[in-house]
Structure 1
């Protein structure tokens, strides 16, 4: 029984819902493991031909990393953390079936990255997306990798160093949101698109996704290697812990 992930199968579509709405669907280690398990269940079900990923509630697809977890990390735990992300990202990238992100609110930090690892994204006018990790004292490594693949270096530098969140219009204009629909139509549009993709020849679909992975694999491996070095250095200074504690204290106040 999963605690933080909900799943539902409707015909050829496997729907996964990130289910920690009280913290804007921010993830911790247990939630990431449950997500990997759900994706594996979808992969192993021959009747499933497409996956939809969304978040519970109407405020967030996902707020990214739960800072209550990472504020306690030291350099050794930060290195293990990179390995946990590698496991999740590899599961997304090795799935043979297309994945659609149904964006129901904010997609920030690692949740933004996961949205970009999905093949297509459906959103509404209230969606905001970006990489605000710098504001918590967390240097970005996998974020710039996936952003540069999709946005180029100039926008990657902008989003990484400012930590700003793009609104839905900007995200659609630069190609990150593929369909922009009214908020109450996001789930419906995602299902419609999932059914369309589910009708495609499965071998060609698998091989297309495999080729996308091959084209970007060197960059991911570089980002993971750099992530170990960079996160160890950052956490050894204590800056991330101080910044995260300040952020959480401000939010509590």
Structure 2
């Protein structure tokens, strides 16, 4: 595994850190694959009672997809891209151990989606979350699915079509952040919650999480199928490539959604 993902054992908690701070922890293919491996290792390790995910640096949990990767896609590569997300999301969704997101800044696009796949989210006043994919020409598919499960159609429509980012106060008000603490206490609060959850009966924890997966599975699979269809349409037209080039040129080298 590369150093795009860092892992550390802290008591009963496995801390997994997204580690591309120079691009606000934006994803690319290797980083996604490495994260899936790190989650699998935590799942199989009996010493791990809870998993905490956070981002390197002080500015971002994750800025979403690295557009320097996706701006080069054609329809075939776009379909493979959806498959990469399917494997990562399947790994997250099938975890038997509680997953806590320690939000240390921006969580945008697919990083917002991954944050919502966690069981708990702890953040600070400076956190911003949202689905700005439309601004870079990416049609949202898995994003609307997970948002619909969490916040309903009206708010999902708002965030998907406007691409706006929500402040921490709004995220907490609609239930997307469980707890807001001072910025310097986010990881400590996440570890404290992790230790509390790690001593819960493990079979009951596994069965509860398994049931959450079961009741959301059909719409998840529908989102993936629509993702393949819509990304092939979009990349055949070339609109995402054009919009990403324009977006990157106006962002002075900032390369993520």
Q: TM-score, normalised by structure 2?
A: 0.97
CA apart distance, 1:252: 2.2
Distance 1:222 1:33 in 2: 23
Partner of 1:227: 227
The answer for unaligned runs of 5 or more in structure 2 is none
CA apart distance, 1:11: 2.1
CA apart distance, 1:47: 1.1
* Equivalent residues, number: 253
Distance 2:64 2:252 in 1: 18
CA apart distance, 1:111: 0.2
1:171-186 mapped onto 2 (5 Å cutoff): 171-186=171-186
Partner of 1:204: 204
Partner of 1:27: 27
Distance 1:208 1:54 in 2: 24
Distance 1:2 1:214 in 2: 33
Partner of 1:97: 97
Partner of 2:134: 134
Partner of 2:217: 217
CA apart distance, 1:12: 1.2
CA apart distance, 1:3: 2.0
Partner of 2:151: 151
Distance 1:173 1:132 in 2: 20
Partner of 1:37: 37
Distance 1:35 1:217 in 2: 21
Q: CA RMSD in A?
A: 0.7
**Per-residue CA shift, 1:159-190, capped at 9, x if unaligned?**
00000000000000000000000101101100
CA apart distance, 1:2: 2.2
Q: TM-score, normalised by structure 1?
A: 0.99
Distance 1:70 1:3 in 2: 21
Distance 2:116 2:35 in 1: 16
CA apart distance, 1:228: 0.5
**Secondary structure of residue in 2 paired with 1:152:** helix
Runs of at least 4 residues of structure 1 off by over 6 A?
Answer: none
The answer for unaligned runs of 5 or more in structure 1 is none
Partner of 1:252: 252
1:49-198 mapped onto 2 (5 Å cutoff): 49-198=49-198
